[in-house]
Amino acid sequence: MKFKIVPIGEQALNIVFPEKIDVRENQLIHNLAASLKQQSHLGIVDLIPAYHTLTVNFDVGLTDFEQLSRQLETFIQAEKTTEITAASQRVVEIPVCYGGQYGPDLTAVAKFAELTPQQVIALHCQQPYYVYFLGFLPGFAYAGFVPDKIAMPRLQQPRLKLAAGSVGIAGKQTGMYPVASPGGWQIIGQTPLKLYDPTNPLPPYHAGDWLQFKAITAADFDQIQQASIAGKYQVKTYRLSETKGAN
Amino acid sequence: MQTAIEILKPGLASTIQDAGRWGYQAFGVPVSGAVDDFSLQLANLLVGNSPEKAGIEFMLLGPAIKFHCPTFIAVTGGSCQPALNQKQIELNRAYQVTAGDVLTFKPMKQGRFGYLAVAGGVKTPAILASRSTTSRLQLGGLKGKLLADGDFLPLQPTYQLASLQWRHCDLPVQTPTKELQLRFIKGPQWASFSTAAQEMFCQQQFQISTQADRMGYRLSGSKLPIPANSMLSEGTVTGNVQITRSGQPIVLLADRQTAGGYPVIGTICAVDLPLLVQAGMKQRLRFQEISVADATKLLRQRIQFLQQLAATFQRQRYQLPIGPQQIAGQRIAQLFEA
User: How confident is the model over B99-118, as pLDDT tens digits?
Assistant: 999 999 999 999 999 999 99
The answer to whether the beta carbons of residues A39 and A29 sit under 8 Å apart is no
* Same domain as A74, residue A92: no
The minimal CB distance from B187 to the residues A8, A49, A134 is found for A8
> Residue B188: closest CA among chain A residues belongs to which residue?
A8
Beta bridge partners, B232, equal none
Superfamily of domain B179-290: Cyclophilin-like (2.40.100.10)
Per-residue pLDDT of chain A in tens (247 residues, 90 and over written 9): 799 999 999 999 999 999 999 999 999 999 999 999 999 999 999 999 999 999 999 999 999 999 999 999 999 998 877 777 877 899 999 999 999 999 999 999 999 999 999 999 999 999 999 999 999 899 999 998 999 999 999 998 889 899 999 999 999 999 999 999 888 899 999 999 999 999 999 999 999 999 999 999 999 999 999 999 999 999 999 999 888 654 4
Residue A11 to residue B270, Cβ atoms within 8 A = yes
**Structurally, how many domains does chain A consist of?**
2
Helix (H) or strand (E) holding B314: helix B292-316
Residue B270 to residue A65, Cβ atoms within 8 A = no
DSSP B28-58: T------SSHHHHHHHHHHTT--TT--EEEE
User: Rounded CA gap, A34 and B286, in Å?
Assistant: 40
User: Rounded CA gap, A211 and A208, in Å?
Assistant: 10
Nearest of A42, A111, A108, A107 to residue A74 by alpha carbon: A42
> Considering only CB atoms, which chain B residues are within 8 Å of A64?
293, 296
**Residue A59 forms part of a structural domain:** yes
Is the reported ipTM for this assembly greater than 0.85?
A: yes
- Parent domain of A158: 88-242
Q: Measured on CA atoms in the order B21, B22, B26, B32, is the torsion positive or negative?
A: positive
Angle (deg, nearest 10), helices B37-46 and B292-316: 20
Task: From A36, A51, A78, give the residue that closes a domain.
Answer: A78
In angstroms, how far is CA A98 from the centroid of its own chain? 20
* Same domain as A120, residue A17: no
Task: From A12, A47, A78, give the residue that closes a domain.
Answer: A78
Q: Tell me whether A51 touches chain B (CB under 8 Å).
A: yes
| A10, A60, A69, best to mutate vs chain B, most B CBs in 10 Å | A10
* Same domain as A132, residue A68: no
Burial (CB < 10 A; 0-12, 13-18, 19+), residue B195, is exposed
Residue B137 to residue A47, Cβ atoms within 8 A = no
The minimal CB distance from B235 to the residues A21, A53, A179 is found for A53
> The domain spanning residue A33 has which CATH number?
3.30.1360.40
The 10 Å Cβ neighbour count of residue B289 is: 14
Please tell me whether the peptide bond between B184 and the residue prior to it is cis, using omega within 30 degrees of 0: no
Cβ within 8 Å of residue B225, ≥6 positions away: B193, B194, B196, B197, B200, B247
Task: From A24, A48, A78, give the residue that closes a domain.
Answer: A78
pLDDT over threshold 70, residue B337? no
User: Rounded CA gap, A241 and B113, in Å?
Assistant: 53
Residue type, A52: H
| B21, B31, B292, B304, best to mutate vs chain A, most A CBs in 10 Å | B292
Residue type, B50: S
Residue A67 DSSP code:
H
pLDDT per residue over B68-91, tens digit each?
999 999 999 999 999 999 999 999
φ, ψ for residue A233 (rounded to 5)?
-90, 125
Calculate mean pLDDT across residues B234-258.
Answer: 96
Do you know the residue count of chain B? Answer: 338
* Same domain as A115, residue A73: no
Residue type, A199: T
The answer to whether the beta carbons of residues A55 and A48 sit under 8 Å apart is yes
Residue B237 to residue A12, Cβ atoms within 8 A = yes
The minimal CB distance from B144 to the residues A9, A53, A198 is found for A198
> The domain spanning residue A183 has which CATH number?
2.40.100.10
In angstroms, how far is CA B69 from the centroid of its own chain? 25
* Same domain as A73, residue A92: no
**Residue A151 forms part of a structural domain:** yes
Residue A11 to residue B137, Cβ atoms within 8 A = no
The minimal CB distance from B188 to the residues A8, A33, A135 is found for A8
